Structure 1
Amino acid sequence: MTIEEARRWASNLDSVVVYEQGAVCRRLARGAVPPDGRVRVTGLPRSLDPASLRARVPDARGVRVSEARVEVEAEPLDASAADGLRVEVERLRDEHAAARGRRDHQLNLIEEVRSLRPVVPPARRPEDALRRTPVDAWLELADFVEERLTRLHSRLVELEDALGGVEHELGVAVDKLARASTDAPSAHVETTVSALLTLDVSGAGSPDSEIELELEYGVPGAVWAPAYRLTYRQGDSSGRLVLRASVAQRTGEDWTDVALGLATADLRRGTGLPKLRSLRIGRSQPGPAPAGWREPPAGLSDLFAGYDTAPRRPAPTVRPVTPSATPPVPPPLSAPQAYGGPPASLAAPGGAGGAAPERFAGHVPAPAPTARARKAEPRSGGPAPAAPGAAPPPPAPPSPPAGPPRPSGAELDYSALVLCGPDERDGRRGRLFPGSSADPVATEHRHRAESVAVLPLPGHAVRPRESAGSFDHRFDTAARTDIPSDGTWHTVTVGEIAVGMHTEYLCTPSVEQTVYAALTLSNSSAQALLAGPVEVTVDDDFLLTAALPTLAPGGVRRVGLGPVEGIQVTRRTHVRESTSGLRNSTTVLDHRVHVELANRLAGPVTVEVRERVPVSSEPDVRIEERADWSVPEDGSGPDRLAAGTRVWRVGLPAGGTSELDGGYEIRIPAGRTVVGGNRRS
């Protein structure tokens, strides 16, 4: 085993927490600490966010991680180690191209035979004698063409059948490849993503001690949605509610035997705390924090003197610029200029600031403003108008900010700084500047992973961030699970939640003479139930899939189960109009309601019958109720009932019936009528 192999530690994925979009993965690696403390941990996915990498030693034995960075290695892939499914797709594509070529060749033969025609003789001159037509030759040619086309068409049918079979096999293989896990390497290059760690051994630790490392990193391309399965029996006051989750991920690595966690928080939301600086009154003030920036070394401009005096290659031809062209925009100030360095436009030729202004090819002074433009300028407090044909004065460089330089976080990331070469201008050559950290391959992997965010949700499913409201929740699976990186939905079981329940039967015969069943759920657990689809099974028989609303701990909500054919309801009404009072000054509208219920189920039920009486805000309109119904309690949210709702609760034994009678009187002045007519129900 070489030293490089000894420093490579293999890692295995231990746990994953899936957020609204994206996931945080946790890997474990174990090995002996090398003398120099540098370790390369392999096995990381290509789509990970390098800025999210964290490493630590869980049981610190005098060993800590002082530095962690991501490194990508690529090497040609051995043909024997290529993915079998991808090789099969390539083989079927070659076979499909060959079958199509044979079919096209057969079509060309058919066209050639079909184009065989007798040669038309030249036109006969008047003085020539009549020529005999070779009818036998014509008939023989026709027989030959017909026989030949029959054989060719028979062969064409066989080739088209073979082509159709290959197209079907190719389509199936391409679909399997599209749905396959993205954990497999590409066709020709195998990419290895590693974490380079520097371990600091101090205290009781020893360089040869074996430790366990814990790596944590974030990846895009993972989403989830809650789902439920409810099982109960008729008449029971409790049931079994199993929380499940539909999870889809395309992170580039298969999650095999991992502890899965599901959270509703937004992984992309910043959680950094603001820095509150104190204000002190007095002469003694705290010193400024070290900025981590140093002045460039003296004589930096002389370092490139020989390079500037060396013979140059001929400059490319520059297209002349017309006077009407827009003058070039001066480049923005670089970081050293912002820290007090000389701007590029004022640097001496050959110095560190770059070329002099006259060296820029194509620099043409801006044209003088027109007469109309000069009239539009302010007459007082503004600059004096320039003479026609005169060049405008150079823009004054902005003054550098006072105080010590304040470099940004990117300029203090020393591992990402790049030393600019001698061809750089504007005061950049010979200095360190943040380099471009965008990896096009990694960006492509992340974009491919983020495609799972647009997957269509399962029926009745709701995004966890939408149903969680103002709070965040987390659910952990009771057992380890496997989820491949194929970008399709996979259902995993999270755990069982204790809920109380009872079945209610509701009907509003004035709207529809049908009885509906509703399941009232009460969340008696300490976790919230997010909105999602619930599969209801009653007495070991699947009933339906309904939409479960968000249920907070201790909350109670109804879930509709659909119409009940075993309970029948009938409603009849009667309206009578009369007058009363002195000189018949009051119109009395007497409404009678008769409801009949019949239970055809095998057990007793309690039916809630809802009626509604008119509600008026006018003082001269009176409504008198004559029934034994009751006013329901005020609900909240979707369970809130409209004003004027009245409720009957009737208990029906198996095979029993019941009749309900109610009514109300509306008394209005004789000169008025109810909108829409008095005689109505």
Structure 2
Amino acid sequence: MTAETAPRWDSTLDSVVVYAQGALCRRLVRGSVPTDGRVRVTGLPRSLDPASLRATVLAAAGVRVTEARVEVEAEPLGAGAPDVLRREVERLRDAHAAAQGRRNRQLGLIEEIRALHPVPPERNPEDPHRRTAVDVWLELADFVDGRLTGLHARLAELDEALRHVEHELGVATDRLSRASTAAPSAHVETTVSALLTLDGAGDGDGDAEGGGPGGGEVELELEYGVPGAVWVPAYRLIHGQGNGDGRLVLRASVAQRTGEDWTGVRIALATADLRRRTDLPRLRSVRIGRRQPAPAPSGWREPPAGLADLFAGYEAAGARRPAPTALPAGVRVGSAAGPVPPPPPPPAPAFVPVPQSYAAPPAPGGAYGGSPETFGGPMPDFAQSAPAQPVAARPAAPRSRAGAMGFGGPPAAAPPAPAAPGRAAPPAPAAPAAPEPAAGPPQPSGAELDYAALVLCGPDEHGGRRGRLFPDSALDPVAAEHRRRADAVGRLPLPGHAVRPRESAGSFDHRFDAAARADIPSDGTWHTVTVGEIPVGLRTEYVCVPSVEPTVYATLVLSNATDQALLAGPVEVSVDDEFLLTAALPTLAPGGVRRVGLGPAEGIRVTRRTNLRESTAGLRNNTTVLDHQVHVELANRLAGPVTVEVHERVPVSSEPDVRVEERATWTTPEDGTGPEHHAPGIRVWRVDLPAGGQVALDGGYEIRIPAGKALVGGNRRS
């Protein structure tokens, strides 16, 4: 049984973890493993990252996954393919082109009729003057007016039909752009599958000698990463007037364009970066001495000798040339204009440096998928020169660290073209010095050692690529287009007051698991998902700064008693089952306290009056005393008791001779104990007002300034 005839298992998307950018999907699959242990799991999206594929056996004793590889297949779409939107757009485009053509033809007819005008015949100078046929001119004018009236009426109908078709085409195009990308986007359906190889002890029915599972029932979990998924947090706060607690519902706005619809999946939201490396660095020991440990085999093989000679026949046949273009009319080969000059000779081919041999120890599994014996003996030295080329001189081949897989430096520059007869050849530019490579065998990357994913370049490749193996990741434009469309989701405009999770989470990462399964189509628009309810401490307080504005503002003081942070985002506040407003919730760390403003409270009135008296004191009246008196009145007109914070500010002096003496019942807030930080000099009154109650607050301070100093800049009467 080959990979093409391997049994196909259908998979079901079970859970998705959406990160700050990108998502990690998990699929479940169950089936009976054939004797050879090779199965094909279908249903994977086109935009998945092949390097992120992981397969795990969930329920099968002694069975393990020995290989997991991503393969792409393409086949024509059937007649019943779900392509209604695209066909509708194509039909409307044809209708729009037809309507535009009819309108253009009508405009042409109007211009032709409008150009009709009487043309008098040519008069012989010897003939006498003739009278103008006015009645004929009038008949022609009546004919033109009648025809133009009918043509313009028809033009108005065509304009209306064109506008109608344009509107329908715009609506259909918008629906197609917002449609899910899980459906095929062309006439060829591309499917992605995972080819798995299972190995382990079977249940006794299979081939025990082959080491395969032998037809046992197994359950697998496939995990892979996809781009094109983002999320931002959102909240809904339900609060009852006078209650000390509330309900904070965490919701998330999720948008994804991964190429597959998430239907009935378990959603989890994380603030981590999916592309951040998580592997630990390896600290290697440095030893001094003659004896060194043998280097680890790199799996690299030098290309066979005479690789350039493989294309000698192709070069002798000549490169592919475009079809000859037809000569213009009236031009003949070998005409009087002179003989046709011969075509210019083709430019001299560029010399591609050939990598020299290395004294690297052989390793099993060469770059060509076999041992050196496959080529009929030990691998020969590759320091052989290329075929002779008609060039003046060849640059020396630099020592390259590349082999057949193409992880080397850039090819050498093309030699200068031969000079014309009778002219001196221009001086050749000095070649830049090639960087000296590090000693030792080449160190190819993981993609270059994935031999099954390497592609052999054909004879038409340039730059030293033909006949050599390269990873095919850069040769798949369809996958690149899918990833480009998926990455466009990260540029969606955010909802109001929304903040990216990486910006609000800081240096910590959090994960939130949704309580129920959800459906999120792959249409690239925002969808709301309810994550769960978070218990928070809640109390209502009123704050006013009468020295700035005679208005009392209502606030909600939230305290986070959970072990997870509340990320910044919009919060919809509802008081007594009535929607109040949408505010911006700041990031609330575990154990933190923050205020959320609810707007002005019209039921509480505040007034403030001040009085300033200036006098002198001291033995010789050498001290100026500025006595400030503050009087604040509060009146509660609400139906219940309230707690009001009145903020005042006392001057702060940096001069030791200037003293500020306070006399009031206000207090100094301590930073770190309240929901916000206070500037120096802030003083607070906390007043409990019953329903319909009033209170008067008196305070003041004295500023003592020596006679030799004066207050510069500032309002001394505030």
TM-score by length of 2: 0.81
Provide the C-alpha distance between the structure 2 equivalents of 1:516 and 1:633, rounded to a whole number of angstroms: 22
2:109 equivalent to 1:98? no
Q: What is the CA distance between 1:332 and its match in structure 2?
A: 7.9
Q: 1:5 to 1:229 in 2, by over 3 A?
A: farther
Q: Which amino acid counterpart does residue 175 of structure 2 have in structure 1? A: K
Provide the C-alpha distance between the structure 2 equivalents of 1:398 and 1:237, rounded to a whole number of angstroms: 71
The answer (yes or no) to whether the contact 1:319–1:362 under 8 Å persists in 2 is: no
The answer (yes or no) to whether the contact 1:219–1:251 under 8 Å persists in 2 is: yes
Question: Percent same amino acid among aligned pairs?
Answer: 72
Q: Which residue of 2 aligns with 1:372?
A: none
After superposition, residues 461-540 of structure 1 pair within 5 angstroms as: 461-540=498-577
Provide the C-alpha distance between the structure 1 equivalents of 2:178 and 2:427, rounded to a whole number of angstroms: 69
Q: Residue 116 of structure 2: SS of its match in structure 1? A: coil
Q: 1:190 to 1:643 in 2, by over 3 A?
A: same
2:182 equivalent to 1:183? yes
Q: 1:303 to 1:409 in 2, by over 3 A?
A: closer
Q: What is the CA distance between 1:101 and its match in structure 2?
A: 1.5
The answer (yes or no) to whether the contact 1:515–1:564 under 8 Å persists in 2 is: yes
Q: Which amino acid counterpart does residue 389 of structure 2 have in structure 1? A: R
Provide the C-alpha distance between the structure 2 equivalents of 1:427 and 1:392, rounded to a whole number of angstroms: 22
After superposition, residues 306-345 of structure 1 pair within 5 angstroms as: 312-313=316-317, 331=353, 333=355, 337=358, 339=360
Q: Residue 157 of structure 2: SS of its match in structure 1? A: helix
After superposition, residues 36-115 of structure 1 pair within 5 angstroms as: 36-115=36-115
Q: Residue 473 of structure 2: SS of its match in structure 1? A: coil
Q: 1:634 to 1:328 in 2, by over 3 A?
A: same
Q: What is the CA distance between 1:164 and its match in structure 2?
A: 1.0
The answer (yes or no) to whether the contact 2:22–2:228 under 8 Å persists in 1 is: yes
Q: Which amino acid counterpart does residue 471 of structure 2 have in structure 1? A: G
After superposition, residues 399-478 of structure 1 pair within 5 angstroms as: 407-418=444-455, 433-438=469-474, 439-478=476-515
Q: 2:670 aligns with which of 633, 646, 668?
A: 633
Q: 1:585 to 1:73 in 2, by over 3 A?
A: same
Q: 2:690 aligns with which of 616, 640, 653?
A: 653
Provide the C-alpha distance between the structure 2 equivalents of 1:15 and 1:34, rounded to a whole number of angstroms: 27
After superposition, residues 662-677 of structure 1 pair within 5 angstroms as: 662-676=699-713
Provide the C-alpha distance between the structure 2 equivalents of 1:488 and 1:309, rounded to a whole number of angstroms: 56
The answer (yes or no) to whether the contact 1:99–1:159 under 8 Å persists in 2 is: yes
After superposition, residues 342-421 of structure 1 pair within 5 angstroms as: 352-356=382-386, 359=389, 361=391, 363=393, 407-418=444-455
2:117 equivalent to 1:117? yes
Provide the C-alpha distance between the structure 1 equivalents of 2:692 and 2:277, rounded to a whole number of angstroms: 63
Q: What is the CA distance between 1:270 and its match in structure 2?
A: 0.7
After superposition, residues 580-659 of structure 1 pair within 5 angstroms as: 580-635=617-672, 639-659=676-696
Q: Residue 225 of structure 2: SS of its match in structure 1? A: strand
Q: Deviations over 1:80-103 (max 9, x none)?
A: 425101111111111111111222
Q: What is the CA distance between 1:585 and its match in structure 2?
A: 1.1
Q: Which amino acid counterpart does residue 549 of structure 1 have in structure 2? A: P
The answer (yes or no) to whether the contact 2:202–2:215 under 8 Å persists in 1 is: no
The answer (yes or no) to whether the contact 1:365–1:392 under 8 Å persists in 2 is: no
Q: Deviations over 1:254-302 (max 9, x none)?
A: 1111111111111111111122335789999876544445688xxx548
Q: What is the CA distance between 1:410 and its match in structure 2?
A: 3.8
After superposition, residues 159-174 of structure 1 pair within 5 angstroms as: 159-174=158-173
Provide the C-alpha distance between the structure 1 equivalents of 2:128 and 2:12, rounded to a whole number of angstroms: 100
Q: What is the CA distance between 1:558 and its match in structure 2?
A: 0.9
2:263 equivalent to 1:256? yes
Q: 1:478 to 1:141 in 2, by over 3 A?
A: same
The answer (yes or no) to whether the contact 2:573–2:583 under 8 Å persists in 1 is: yes
2:194 equivalent to 1:195? yes
Q: Which residue of 1 aligns with 2:145?
A: 146
The answer (yes or no) to whether the contact 1:318–1:361 under 8 Å persists in 2 is: no
Q: Which amino acid counterpart does residue 473 of structure 2 have in structure 1? A: S
Question: Which sits farther off after the overlay, 404-413 or 128-137?
Answer: 404-413
Q: What is the CA distance between 1:313 and its match in structure 2?
A: 3.0
Q: Which residue of 2 aligns with 1:276?
A: 283
Q: 1:203 to 1:275 in 2, by over 3 A?
A: farther
Q: Which residue of 1 aligns with 2:209?
A: none
Aligned length: 639
Q: What is the CA distance between 1:562 and its match in structure 2?
A: 1.6
Provide the C-alpha distance between the structure 2 equivalents of 1:461 and 1:203, rounded to a whole number of angstroms: 54
Q: Residue 263 of structure 2: SS of its match in structure 1? A: strand
Q: Which amino acid counterpart does residue 36 of structure 2 have in structure 1? A: D
Q: Which residue of 1 aligns with 2:374?
A: none
Q: What is the CA distance between 1:121 and its match in structure 2?
A: 4.3
Q: What is the CA distance between 1:4 and its match in structure 2?
A: 6.2
Q: 1:657 to 1:340 in 2, by over 3 A?
A: same
Provide the C-alpha distance between the structure 2 equivalents of 1:620 and 1:398, rounded to a whole number of angstroms: 71
The answer (yes or no) to whether the contact 1:574–1:592 under 8 Å persists in 2 is: yes
Q: Residue 536 of structure 1: SS of its match in structure 2? A: strand
Q: Residue 85 of structure 2: SS of its match in structure 1? A: helix
Provide the C-alpha distance between the structure 1 equivalents of 2:714 and 2:76, rounded to a whole number of angstroms: 87
Provide the C-alpha distance between the structure 1 equivalents of 2:391 and 2:478, rounded to a whole number of angstroms: 37
Q: Deviations over 1:588-612 (max 9, x none)?
A: 1111111122222222211110111
Q: Which amino acid counterpart does residue 385 of structure 2 have in structure 1? A: A
Q: Which residue of 2 aligns with 1:136?
A: 135
The answer (yes or no) to whether the contact 2:229–2:490 under 8 Å persists in 1 is: yes
Provide the C-alpha distance between the structure 2 equivalents of 1:585 and 1:252, rounded to a whole number of angstroms: 83
Q: Residue 71 of structure 2: SS of its match in structure 1? A: strand
Q: What is the CA distance between 1:493 and its match in structure 2?
A: 0.4
Provide the C-alpha distance between the structure 1 equivalents of 2:87 and 2:506, rounded to a whole number of angstroms: 48
Provide the C-alpha distance between the structure 2 equivalents of 1:531 and 1:163, rounded to a whole number of angstroms: 48
